[in-house]
Amino acid sequence: MPAMHLKIIQYLKSAEGFVSGEDISRELGVSRSAVWKCIEDLRQEGYKVEAVPHHGYKLAALPDRLIAWEVQHNLGTRKFGCAVHHFAEIGSTMDEAFRLGMSGAPEGTVVAAELQTKGRGRLGRAWVSPGGSGLYFSLLLRPKLSTAEAARLTLLSSVALSEAVEKCSGVSALIKWPNDLLLGGRKLAGILTELRAEVDRVDFAVVGIGLNVNTAHKELPPEATSLKNESGQGYSRVAILQEFLRTFERRYLVLAKQGFGPALEEWRKRSATIGRRVRFEERGHKFEGLATGLADDGGLMVQLDNKQTVKRMAGDVIVELKDKKV
Ligand code: BTN
């Protein structure tokens, strides 16, 4: 957003009540018609600016759009959210973040969209991304991890997302291994991690997050839900994105300094999978068993019905058996 527009928003935000166009133009050293033109632009961006003759302008409401200025305002992170690329409409934020990764964009760069026409999920599935109601973004990371350790990023993201959702809405969403957030047994959010790697070292990673925030039930697949659906209340997508970036940054620094232990511990507390019966297939054979825990590398430990214990890694297809709770 141009500097003049930012200054006007800042001025309106800091004002109590109405401010005259004359005061704004004097303060910022521009003509009154330039002020008026900027205010029109801001309205186009979704800012609700009231104008009353002889009183001036008042900022009545901020847009809940993922524009850089709003996301970065009072964010307080060092790296994450340092650049925010916002799109009203895009195919997939993953592709744009990947492109930015290839062109050397810094770690912490965010690509966010109001609507995705080709949102994608794991295993070639589509991610339904209706306009303005969900949070769809990708985060560029340049971690010092081997490709074998990259699954940690997905688990770290699911912990940070569950924590951020809880802080902003009071809603406790559980984590379904490895990367879904569930609410009332339905899918609230999904996480997709894509890598560019050299031999066994991660060059960069893109973590993509889709969270159904204010999405109406009829716009979602039957197995999905949104925060608004479950709680009857709408939430600010900007506030959730900001909280995610803060939480993720804290956890990412802890990962670098203390290893994966603290995130794993929190993951276990928030798990919807451990203690449930699961099924998976390997080389045409079907296996069933009990999910007993999470290994230190993020793999899911499953005790098979023949009492043998096996480890499954993210990327394997695991089906939780809903009707056989233990
Ligand atoms: C899944 O559960 O399968 C993962 C879904 C990930 C969806 C997000 S939305 C933002 C980013 N852009 C995409 O195309 N996908 C991810």
The per-residue pLDDT for range 127-156, each reduced to its tens digit, is 999 998 999 999 999 999 998 888 899 999
DSSP code of residue 219: G
Question: What is the fold of 277-325?
Answer: SH3 type barrels. (2.30.30)
The Cα 204–Cα 201 span in angstroms is 9
Same CATH fold assignment for domains 3-61 and 277-325: no
pLDDT band at 1 (very low <50, low <70, confident <90, very high): confident
Pocket around ligand 1: residues whose beta carbon is below 6 Å from it? Answer: 92-94, 116, 119-122, 125, 127, 136-138, 180, 190-192, 208-210
For residue 178, what pLDDT is reported?
Answer: 82
The Cα 286–Cα 221 span in angstroms is 27
pLDDT at residue 325 above 50?
A: no
Three-class secondary structure of residue 73 per DSSP: coil
User: What percentage of the chain carries pLDDT values higher than 90?
Assistant: 76
User: What percentage of the chain carries pLDDT values higher than 70?
Assistant: 97
For residue 326, what pLDDT is reported?
Answer: 33
CATH number of 68-269: 3.30.930.10
Atom index in ligand 1 nearest the CA of residue 121 equals: 3
Q: Where are the domains of the chain?
A: 3-61, 68-269, 277-325
**Of the residues 209, 212, 226, which should be mutated to test ligand 1's pocket, given the most ligand atoms within 8 Å of the CB?**
209
pLDDT band at 324 (very low <50, low <70, confident <90, very high): very low
For ligand 1, atom 7, which residue shows the shortest CA distance?
Answer: 210
- Computed on alpha carbons and rounded to an integer, the radius of gyration of the chain in Å comes to 22
Give pTM, 2 decimals.
0.89
CATH number of 3-61: 1.10.10.10
pLDDT band at 316 (very low <50, low <70, confident <90, very high): low
The mean pLDDT value for 158-184 works out to: 94
pLDDT band at 200 (very low <50, low <70, confident <90, very high): confident
Span from the CA of 275 to the centroid of ligand 1 (angstroms): 27
The whole-chain average pLDDT of the chain stands at 92
Span from the CA of 129 to the centroid of ligand 1 (angstroms): 9
**Of the residues 89, 120, 141, which should be mutated to test ligand 1's pocket, given the most ligand atoms within 8 Å of the CB?**
120
For residue 322, what pLDDT is reported?
Answer: 65
For residue 281, what pLDDT is reported?
Answer: 87
Helix (H) or strand (E) holding 302: strand 300-304
Q: Note the pLDDT tens digit of each residue in 283-293.
A: 888 889 999 99
The mean pLDDT value for 73-99 works out to: 96
The Cα 131–Cα 214 span in angstroms is 10
Span from the CA of 19 to the centroid of ligand 1 (angstroms): 43
